[in-house]
Amino acid sequence: MKTAWELLEQLYFERVSGTEGEKRGADIIEQAIKEAGVEVYQESFETQGAVIEKVSFEVLTPYYKQYEATAYYNSGSVEDLEADLLYYEQESDVLKKQAEGKVLLVNGYVGIAGYKKFADTKAKAFISYNGKIDHCEDYDLDQREFREPLKALGSMVGINIKVEDAMELVQKQAERVRITVKQTEGKKVSQNVLAEIDGYENKDVIVLSAHYDSVPNSRGIYDNATGCVALYDLIRYFKEHQPRHHLRFVFCGSEERGLLGSKAYCAMHEDALEEIKLNINLDMVGSIMGKRIAVATAEEALVHYTDYFAKEIGFPLEARQGVYSSDSTPFADHGIPAISFARITSPGTGEIHNRFDVIEHLDERLLLEDIDFVRQYTERMANAYVIMVKKEIPQNMKDEIDKYYGREKKEGKSTC
Ligand SMILES: [Zn+2]
């Protein structure tokens, strides 16, 4: 049987949602669990995918230049779209008034919060950028996606360029630009890997989750092959130490595209959600430098319990209530108390979502410490006489989940 670290090394390649790499990752995890003598299977689900055939971005006046660009998957196609460029540097009524019919250069990542700043401007297209100006030579152009929740606000073609190019556009006052994006949208298949350890009381279920997919240009070793090998170690442990309650292990695909694997799991097992009393999620552990955190999307009491438990066994941990951007959120959104554990890198000591997410920034000893803590925590929960966490998501957490998903608050209709 493989050790956790050996499995980690085996997962050291790109595992992007809907690709062969992701499937290979699922197969490797499945095989390792099989070798540990535990029943395991894959469950596939469909996601919206796109094949990009052409992207071009040119400045026409006051100078001519072609820039390297990627297109946002699922943001649509345009052929030779010509328009004026506007640096939409912030959400402002002034810029909103100027934005109609333009191509907007925007700061930051265009997720739901970013898109809301200009979705209603009637702009023709948007340009985002990534990278760090002091690492010009040293990064990849991100391949981004125009996710489903954004479409609800109206579609807009988007492209992504490099930070130094974005700065050049502003400094040289690029005026007239031309964009072509050609893409075909279609379905892609992703999958979750599921394994189960039966409890001897055979009733309540605790779901342990970790995503195994990565973003493009990243081998996703810290984020989140580490969480997966932690689950693998837990499976091996609990196979030998049967718990009172059921443990269900869900290795999620497509997390990086908007928590799609855990969302799919919840959608496909709606009638089984009743028996799930808690979700313990792992996303990023084992880094050399950093700090241990626990984020509970649950009643405040779970935060205190977790804090006390860590103190009791001598494990430094910062526990708080909140929404962690990972697979714990869909579970909490379905009324299941959820807690995510991570060892977050300290600034400058590790990166994610690019090719610098490397195994050299991880440490086996620290990884095993993280695993051991989560093992002890899970063991307490899984052997509790009754699962003590209240199966209820408090209103403040419901509000935070709504905010995280960019969902509008349902306000009562005005009567005047
Ligand atoms: Zn992650």
CATH number of the domain residue 123 falls in:
3.50.30.30
Say whether both 235 and 377 belong to one domain.
yes
pLDDT at 410 over 80: no
Question: What pLDDT, on the 0 to 100 scale, is given for residue 217?
Answer: 92
pTM, full prediction: 0.92
Residue 227 Cα to ligand 1 middle (Å): 9
Q: How confident is the model at residue 207 (pLDDT cuts 50, 70, 90)?
A: very high
Say whether both 150 and 192 belong to one domain.
no
Residue 102 Cα to ligand 1 middle (Å): 35
pLDDT at 371 over 90: yes
| Residue 43: inside a domain | yes
pLDDT at 269 over 90: yes
- Chosen domain end from 125, 140, 174: 174
| Residue 18: inside a domain | yes
Q: How confident is the model at residue 412 (pLDDT cuts 50, 70, 90)?
A: very low
Residue 88 Cα to ligand 1 middle (Å): 30
| Residue 180: inside a domain | no
Residue 140 Cα to ligand 1 middle (Å): 19
Instruction: Find where tokens 């950028």 sit.
Output: 129
- Establish whether the linkage from the previous residue to 192 is cis, with ω within 30° of 0: no
Say whether both 150 and 9 belong to one domain.
no
Question: What pLDDT, on the 0 to 100 scale, is given for residue 258?
Answer: 94
Residue 212 Cα to ligand 1 middle (Å): 8
Residue 377 Cα to ligand 1 middle (Å): 21
Mean predicted lDDT score pLDDT of the chain? 95
Residues whose CB falls within 8 Å of the CB of residue 169, separated by 6 or more in sequence, listed in order: 59, 85, 87, 105
Say whether both 202 and 312 belong to one domain.
yes
CB of 321 within 8 A of CB of 262?
Answer: no
Residue 223 Cα to ligand 1 middle (Å): 5
Say whether both 239 and 372 belong to one domain.
yes
Residue 32 Cα to ligand 1 middle (Å): 21
Say whether both 297 and 397 belong to one domain.
yes
Say whether both 15 and 123 belong to one domain.
no
Question: What pLDDT, on the 0 to 100 scale, is given for residue 139?
Answer: 83
Residue 219 Cα to ligand 1 middle (Å): 12
Residue 224 Cα to ligand 1 middle (Å): 5
For residue 345, give the DSSP letter: P
Q: How confident is the model at residue 109 (pLDDT cuts 50, 70, 90)?
A: confident
Q: How many distinct structural domains can be found in the chain? A: 2
Residue 326 Cα to ligand 1 middle (Å): 6
Residue 18 Cα to ligand 1 middle (Å): 16
Residue 152 Cα to ligand 1 middle (Å): 25
5-22 pLDDT, tens digit each: 999 999 999 999 999 999
| Residue 416: inside a domain | no
Say whether both 128 and 195 belong to one domain.
no
Contacts by 89-96 with C-beta closer than 8 Å and gap 24+?
90/117, 91/117, 91/118, 96/121
Question: What pLDDT, on the 0 to 100 scale, is given for residue 414?
Answer: 39
Residue 220 Cα to ligand 1 middle (Å): 8
pLDDT at 406 over 70: yes
Query: Which of 32-46, 132-146, 147-161, 329-343 shows the lowest per-residue confidence on average (mean pLDDT)?
Result: 132-146
291-335 pLDDT, tens digit each: 999 999 999 999 999 999 999 999 999 999 999 999 999 999 999
Residue 84 Cα to ligand 1 middle (Å): 37
Residue 323 Cα to ligand 1 middle (Å): 14
| Residue 413: inside a domain | no
Residue 283 Cα to ligand 1 middle (Å): 5
Say whether both 280 and 349 belong to one domain.
yes
Please list the residues that pair with 192 across neighbouring strands.
43
Q: What is the mean pLDDT of residues 245-271?
A: 97
Residue 284 Cα to ligand 1 middle (Å): 6
- Chosen domain end from 142, 174, 206: 174
Q: What is the mean pLDDT of residues 160-182?
A: 97
Residue 230 Cα to ligand 1 middle (Å): 14
For position 287, which CATH number holds? 3.40.630.10
Q: Per-residue DSSP letters for 173-198?
A: T--EEEEEEEEEEEEEEEEEEEEEE-
Question: What pLDDT, on the 0 to 100 scale, is given for residue 331?
Answer: 98
Question: What pLDDT, on the 0 to 100 scale, is given for residue 138?
Answer: 76
- Of 210, 202, 237, 238, nearest to 226 by C-alpha is 210
| Residue 54: inside a domain | no
Say whether both 79 and 117 belong to one domain.
yes
Q: CA–CA separation, 371 vs 3, rounded Å?
A: 12
- Of 165, 178, 240, nearest to 1 by C-alpha is 240
Q: What is the mean pLDDT of residues 68-94?
A: 96
Q: Which amino acid is at 163?
A: V
Q: CA–CA separation, 272 vs 360, rounded Å?
A: 40
Residue 327 Cα to ligand 1 middle (Å): 9
Q: Which residue has the higher pLDDT, 224 or 139?
A: 224
Say whether both 145 and 200 belong to one domain.
no
pLDDT at 415 over 60: no
Question: What pLDDT, on the 0 to 100 scale, is given for residue 203?
Answer: 82
Residue 396 Cα to ligand 1 middle (Å): 24
Say whether both 30 and 129 belong to one domain.
no
Question: What pLDDT, on the 0 to 100 scale, is given for residue 108?
Answer: 84
| Residue 216: inside a domain | yes
- Chosen domain end from 174, 204, 228: 174
Q: How confident is the model at residue 416 (pLDDT cuts 50, 70, 90)?
A: very low
Residue 255 Cα to ligand 1 middle (Å): 7
Residue 189 Cα to ligand 1 middle (Å): 20
Question: What pLDDT, on the 0 to 100 scale, is given for residue 409?
Answer: 61
pLDDT at 395 over 50: yes
| Residue 266: inside a domain | yes
Residue 328 Cα to ligand 1 middle (Å): 11
Residue 370 Cα to ligand 1 middle (Å): 16
Structural domain of 315: 4-48+188-404
